[in-house]
């Protein structure tokens, strides 16, 4: 079973979201085991403080190295030394997180340790000593690492067999095979003069599949030309035969 550890100074954020997301199903089905580590339990400072002023001055606070050293070492003692593991730090300087990385982690047997940063970041010595992977959600900054950690974990776990009711649903999601998803419709058949496309009411599964595939490609080409270029490069023979 894959184990995921989350080291955070605000464990209540992680626990609250997990209890109301797909990852709780993965835990209940014994697919993934989660453990939330309270970073403040490893602080010997007054009020369990885990941040301090940075050397060299400047505005903002930085998370101290010592609590992280103790917390990470404690987690590593719990992991079988024969098992592979990754220590992931979501940060602005990381590689951009995407579907291919989520898919790779979902199929690996690696245990994962997430470090949640706050303020201006964490003492660089934590990165130098422990971190194996840094990932960014995009070119913007959010107020805490718990949010980015939860996004990354959700994107990994939902792709693991047994989590979603139908894994085929994930295999047609946006970004799978470098395409956006097709448009969807439900009841009523007509609303404010807008009708559900006739092909979706035809019952002809071959035609429906073809319609969805054409719309996935059209959407990607118009809205995400970068993805479309990647799709073309990876599917040249298929496109030539169409």
pLDDT tens-place string over residues 179-188: 899 999 999 9
pTM of the model: 0.86
What is the distance between the terminal CA atoms of the chain, rounded to a whole angstrom?
43
What per-residue confidence (pLDDT) applies to 171? 62
Yes or no: domain 2-157 corresponds to CATH 3.40.1280.10: yes
What per-residue confidence (pLDDT) applies to 210? 95
Q: How many residues does the chain have?
A: 242
The Cα 112–Cα 86 span in angstroms is: 5
Asked, colleague to colleague, whether 2-157 and 172-240 share their fold, the answer is no
- At residue 164 the predicted structure's pLDDT band, cuts being 50, 70 and 90, is confident
Query: What residue ranges do the domains of the chain occupy?
Result: 2-157, 172-240
Helices (H), 37-121: 65-78, 99-107
Query: How many CA within 13 A on the CB side of residue 20?
Result: 5
Q: Which of 78, 79, 153 is nearest to 116 (CA)?
A: 153
Q: What's the CATH fold of domain 172-240?
A: 1.10.1270
State both tokens at 38: 């309270």
Query: How many CA within 13 A on the CB side of residue 38?
Result: 9
What per-residue confidence (pLDDT) applies to 239? 58
pLDDT tens-place string over residues 56-103: 988 889 999 999 999 999 999 988 666 689 999 999 999 999 999 999
């Amino acid at each position: 079973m894959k184990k995921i550890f989350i080291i955070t100074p605000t464990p209540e954020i992680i626990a609250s979201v997990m209890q109301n997301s797909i990852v709780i199903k993965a835990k209940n089905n014994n697919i993934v085991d989660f453990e939330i580590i309270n970073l403040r339990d490893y602080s010997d400072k007054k009020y369990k403080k885990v941040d301090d002023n940075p050397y060299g001055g400047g505005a903002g606070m930085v998370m101290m190295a010592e609590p992280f050293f103790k917390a990470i070492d404690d987690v590593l003692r719990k992991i079988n030394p024969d098992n592979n593991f990754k220590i992931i730090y979501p940060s602005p300087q990381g590689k951009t997180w995407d579907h291919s990385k989520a898919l790779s982690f979902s199929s690996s047997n690696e245990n994962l340790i997430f470090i949640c940063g706050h303020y201006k970041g964490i003492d660089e010595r934590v990165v130098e000593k422990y971190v194996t992977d840094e990932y960014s959600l995009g070119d913007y900054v959010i107020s805490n690492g718990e949010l980015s950690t939860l996004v990354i974990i959700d994107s990994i776990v939902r792709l693991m067999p047994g989590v979603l009711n139908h894994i085929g649903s994930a295999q047609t999601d946006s970004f799978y095979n470098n395409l956006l998803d097709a448009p969807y419709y439900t009841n009523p058949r007509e609303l404010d003069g807008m009708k559900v496309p006739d092909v979706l009411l035809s019952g002809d599964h071959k035609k429906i599949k073809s319609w969805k595939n054409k719309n996935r490609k059209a959407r990607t080409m118009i809205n995400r030309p970068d993805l479309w270029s990647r799709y073309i490069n990876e599917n040249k023979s298929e496109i030539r035969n169409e």
